[in-house]
């Protein structure tokens, strides 16, 4: 919708009730993915106690899901465009529910790793499908922006509820209960989606290119693995080999897409500034945000001594404000440009990191809450506008691929943020911690490795020695606050600059020329005729109150113009 021509209320009202019912259904998998991302962290100690797996296997239990998910997102986006996005969503939901049950009753750590890998496969079918379906269900730009804000609130709510739900389940049930959360969420989707969510696909998709599917997988999997492994173990020859192989596969993938008449991923998407700058801004902000969240969760639990459930409740006000910010920015979009709102949200994100830096010498629970409220307000605003820009700047036929690229950038940002900022934070900890004399080599290494290790070792030492170790570990841990906050804030500000400089909004209505009969013809939109007060407004005049308006609204993407009829 073009807010400058005064059709907001009419066009929004033209969105049928069925579209909002479809949105409610599509929020179910989004909420599930968010909950699923957080609950495993709380279940891992119980899983380790049950199976007693080696440390490497524990890492695979956590990491294999993200590895497979990130590797398959682009491929699944292209597949959804071809076979149907709702169909892909149904397949993904069915598979996710079945494998979640298998994971809940996994007989061994190795079986759980395999189940988590399969969850990554089916999870990669869920996220691109939901966002691309919204692009096709909500044809009006204003309604779509509101739908995306509500859709994003499902993810935020799931992230906030994950620690609370997970903590409550683990207090009363076996650790497998955290995987069974998927079943009551996905069953309603499987029943309602065929009735309420319309199918959509690329009308001229071309054949499915299995070579491109394999190349996208061969690009992402080794790159994500290399980043994660380097964060834990440092650089090695195997990591270099993985990076080289991933880049080689990626180069081949791009060349193949450019040569194909019907590419799985249209590389021309990246030539359109609103799409590319939104992807880059999302990526940079997520690197800082996820990397910083990795630190703050440990600060709340290991420095301030809070339980996982209490730590989750501390971040709840910020999550609520994030939802409010995402919904509020929809109304603000009537008066301000998307790039201005996106940049402002990113500046607020940087301000939240700045408050953490300001409070670093006394980072209490209240200080964390205040900082997170500001930070999450920025996240809600910027993510709503950027996601809207990403899906709105491409033709509906390419919505699946665009959504997949957006989700891939998010996953890569999360991996790189945790790896890089986590590595920097760990380096400051190791350089500043003082290990008491008299500890065994194993105890000394564990205490010097991380604050979690120091906390475990301190519990086995005499009280005085243990207290000194804890004090040193907490001081060393907090020494990483300043550099981490500075880096995160810098990345958010850099993202704001990217948006401000490179994001160019194309007008949705071309004023065109006035015909001899007094109508106003918009040449970029075939058969578009604007009459009455809208014609006067486009020509610079002031319309009379109560006059009728009949207009076609043109929504320009990187390679197409879509027209929507509206009357008042």
Q: What is the pLDDT of residues 293-302, one digit of tens each?
A: 777 777 887 7
User: Hunting for tokens 């880096």 — which residue is that?
Assistant: 487
Q: What is the C-alpha separation between 442 and 321, in angstroms, rounded? A: 44
Instruction: From 322, 312, 421, select the one nearest 368 (Cα to Cα).
Output: 312
Provide the sign of the torsion angle of the four alpha carbons 270, 273, 275, 276, taken in this order.
positive
- 277 and 503 in contact (C-beta within 8 Å)? yes
* Residue 489: closest CA among 281, 285, 277, 280: 285
Q: Which long-range contacts (C-beta less than 8 Å, at least 24 apart) are formed by 520-528?
A: 522/552, 522/554, 524/554, 524/556, 524/561, 525/552, 525/554, 525/561, 525/563, 526/563, 527/552, 527/563, 528/552, 528/554, 528/563
Residue 414 confidence (pLDDT) above 60: yes
User: Cα–Cα distance between 187 and 173 in angstroms, integer?
Assistant: 21
Joined together, the tokens standing for residue 203 give 């009308």
Give the whole-angstrom CA distance, residue 422 versus residue 429. Answer: 10
The mean pLDDT of 499-512, rounded to a whole number, is 55
CB 329 within 8 A of CB 345: yes
Categorize the per-residue pLDDT at 350 as very low, low, confident or very high, splitting at 50, 70 and 90.
very high
Query: What's the rounded Cα separation, in Å, for the pair 35 and 443?
Result: 35
User: For 423, phi and psi rounded to 5 degrees?
Assistant: -65, -45
Q: How far is 402 from 131, CA to CA, in rounded Å?
A: 9
Interval 512-553: pLDDT, tens: 333 333 333 333 343 333 334 334 433 444 443 333 344 444
Q: Give the pLDDT confidence of 69-114 residue by residue, as tens digits.
A: 888 888 888 888 888 889 999 999 999 999 999 999 999 988 999 9
Entry pTM: 0.73
Maximal C-alpha separation, the chain: 95
Q: CA 12 → CA 146, 289, 486, distances in Å? A: 10, 33, 41
Query: Would you list the DSSP string of 171-199?
Result: HHS-TTHHHHTHHHHHHHHHHHHHHHS--
């Amino acid at each position: 919708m073009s807010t400058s021509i005064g059709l907001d209320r009419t066009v929004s009202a033209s969105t049928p009730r069925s579209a909002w019912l479809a949105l409610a259904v599509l929020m179910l998998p989004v909420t599930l993915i968010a909950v699923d991302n957080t609950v495993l962290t709380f279940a891992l100690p119980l899983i380790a106690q049950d199976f007693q797996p080696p440390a490497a296997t524990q890492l695979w239990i956590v990491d294999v899901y993200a590895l497979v998910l990130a590797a398959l997102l682009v491929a699944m986006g292209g597949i959804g465009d071809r076979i149907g996005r709702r169909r892909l969503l149904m397949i993904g939901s069915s598979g996710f529910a079945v494998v979640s049950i298998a994971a809940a009753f996994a007989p061994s750590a190795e079986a759980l790793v395999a189940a988590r890998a399969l969850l990554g496969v089916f999870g990669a079918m869920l996220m691109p499908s939901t966002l691309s379906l919204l692009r096709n269900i909500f044809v009006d730009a204003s309604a779509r922006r509101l739908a995306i804000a509500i859709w994003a609130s499902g993810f935020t709510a799931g992230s906030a509820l994950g620690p609370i739900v997970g903590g409550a389940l683990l207090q009363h049930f076996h650790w497998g209960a955290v995987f069974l959360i998927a079943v009551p969420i996905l069953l309603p989707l499987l029943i309602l989606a065929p009735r309420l969510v319309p199918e959509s696909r690329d009308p001229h998709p071309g054949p499915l290119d299995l070579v491109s599917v394999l190349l996208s997988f061969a690009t992402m999997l080794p790159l994500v693995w290399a980043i994660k492994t380097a964060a834990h173990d440092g650089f090695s020859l195997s990591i270099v080999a993985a990076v080289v192989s991933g880049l080689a596969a990626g180069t081949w993938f791009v060349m193949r897409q450019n040569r194909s008449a019907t590419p799985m991923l249209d590389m021309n998407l990246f030539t359109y500034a609103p799409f590319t700058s939104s992807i880059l801004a999302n990526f940079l902000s997520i690197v800082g945000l996820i990397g910083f969240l990795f630190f703050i969760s440990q600060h709340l639990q290991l420095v301030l001594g809070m339980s996982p459930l209490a730590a989750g409740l501390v971040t709840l006000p910020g999550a609520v404000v994030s939802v409010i910010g995402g919904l509020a920015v929809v109304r603000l979009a009537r008066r301000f440009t998307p790039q201005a709102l996106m940049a402002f949200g990113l500046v607020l994100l940087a301000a939240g990191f700045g408050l953490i830096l300001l409070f670093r010498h006394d980072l209490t629970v209240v200080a964390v809450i205040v900082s997170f409220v500001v930070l999450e307000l920025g996240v809600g605003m910027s993510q709503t506008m950027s996601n809207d820009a990403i899906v709105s700047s491409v033709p509906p036929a390419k919505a699946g691929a665009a959504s997949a690229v957006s989700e891939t950038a998010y996953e890569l940002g999360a991996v790189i943020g945790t790896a890089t900022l986590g590595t920097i934070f760990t380096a400051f900890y190791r350089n500043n911690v003082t290990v008491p004399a008299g500890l065994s080599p194993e105890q000394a290494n564990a205490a010097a490795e991380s604050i979690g290790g120091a906390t475990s070792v301190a519990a086995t030492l005499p009280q005085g020695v243990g207290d000194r170790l804890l004090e040193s570990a907490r001081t060393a841990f907090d020494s990483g606050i300043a550099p981490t906050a500075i880096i995160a804030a810098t990345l958010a500000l850099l993202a704001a600059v990217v948006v401000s400089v490179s994001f160019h909004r194309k007008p949705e209505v071309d004023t065109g020329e006035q015909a001899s009969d007094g109508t106003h013809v918009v040449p970029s939109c075939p058969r578009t005729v604007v009459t009455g007060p809208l014609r006067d407004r486009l020509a610079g005049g002031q319309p009379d109150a109560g006059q009728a308006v009949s207009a076609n609204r043109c929504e320009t993407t990187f390679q197409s113009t879509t027209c929507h009829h509206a009357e008042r």
